[in-house]
Amino acid sequence: MPYVSVGKENSEDIELYYEDHGSGSPVILIHGYPLSGASWERQVPALLAAGHRVITYDRRGFGKSSQPAEGYNYDTFAQDLKKLIGHLKLKEFALAGFSMGGGEVARYIGKYGSKGVRKAIFVSSVPPFLLKTPDNPEGIDGSVFEGIQKAVAADRYVFYTEFFKNFYNTDLLLGKRVSEQAVQASWNVAAGCSAIASLACVPTWHEDFRADLGRVDVPSLVIHGDADRILPIQASGQRTAAMVKGARLVVLKEGPHAVNWTHADEVNSEMVSFLAATAPAAVTASQG
């Protein structure tokens, strides 16, 4: 299995597992919490069919990657991504981030610039800034994140069960757009992640990406469901699209957080069209 070393912890290498398929224009798919690169399984075939080289990887602490006790912050995540890009010698690539993965897209460009980045895609993503502060009154009170941390620390397996109900909006979509087995598969992946990572990543959800988004100067696509209970569109997707110059916002009607699974056809269509376009229009679209 392919791995790239991104650092060391004591005597052990910290290694990221990745998959690299196809040829053509590269697209790097960055997963959300608490899953792995395999969560893009409904996008990979469509992107390959469209002629792309598709790269997925597991964030440190998740999936098949190493599970160190440190490095769970966006500066390190972006550095890990940079090392993967260097290892694969990628040029003119697109970055696509789902949920937490959108933070890597924003921080990578914010920290390293857009050289080599062809396009950026944010799907149900965490930017721009979720924490309520005096200069960010539309954010969420810090006590909410503290409560999540306490729940994860008390029994992360129980937390995942409740989390995935709102991840997929199972009360409305189970048996229609998502199966019990798919939800269970997500829980299984989550249960295999690092207990340290599952707790340490929660504070990263309210990282301030506003300055990073201001540096995004490549064509950008923002896809978000209007029924997202994990990252409400008003707090994230809409604001991200407004902060990234020329970004295209696609709103998926009745879309939960995990639109890349429940609304895969719509997400795939938008991603493939956007990646193929030479000059994507900066407009707002809505899909049912």
DSSP string, 223-270: EEETT-SSS-TTTTHHHHHHHSTT-EEEEETT--S-HHHHTHHHHHHH
Q: Active site residue: 65, 198, 228, 263, which one? A: 228
Task: Note the pTM of the prediction, 2 decimals.
Answer: 0.95
Fold type of domain 3-287 = Rossmann fold (3.40.50)
180-191 vs 142-168: helix crossing angle, rounded to 10 = 140
pLDDT at position 138: 85
Cα–Cα dist 255/280, whole Å = 23
- Calculate ∠ Cα 4-76-25, nearest 5°: 55
Q: Active site residue: 52, 206, 224, 257, which one? A: 257
pLDDT at position 200: 98
User: Distance from first CA to last CA of the chain, Å, rounded?
Assistant: 39
Residue closest to 37 by CA, chosen among 92, 91, 76, 80:
80
87 is catalytic: no
Residue 120: what are its φ and ψ, rounded to 5°? -130, 140
Task: Tell me if 191 sits within 8 A of 36, measured CB to CB.
Answer: no
31 is catalytic: no
Q: Active site residue: 99, 125, 186, 194, which one? A: 99
DSSP string over 134-201: TTBTTSB-HHHHHHHHHHHHHHHHHHHHHHHHHHHTHHHHBTTTB-HHHHHHHHHHHHTS-HHHHHHT
Q: Which residues of the chain have pLDDT under 50?
A: 280-283
Task: Tell me if 38 sits within 8 A of 64, measured CB to CB.
Answer: no
Per DSSP, the three-state class of 210 is: helix
125 is catalytic: no
pLDDT at position 280: 41
Task: Tell me if 155 sits within 8 A of 256, measured CB to CB.
Answer: no
**Which tokens in the block code for residue 121?**
């895609």
Amino acid residing at 212:
D
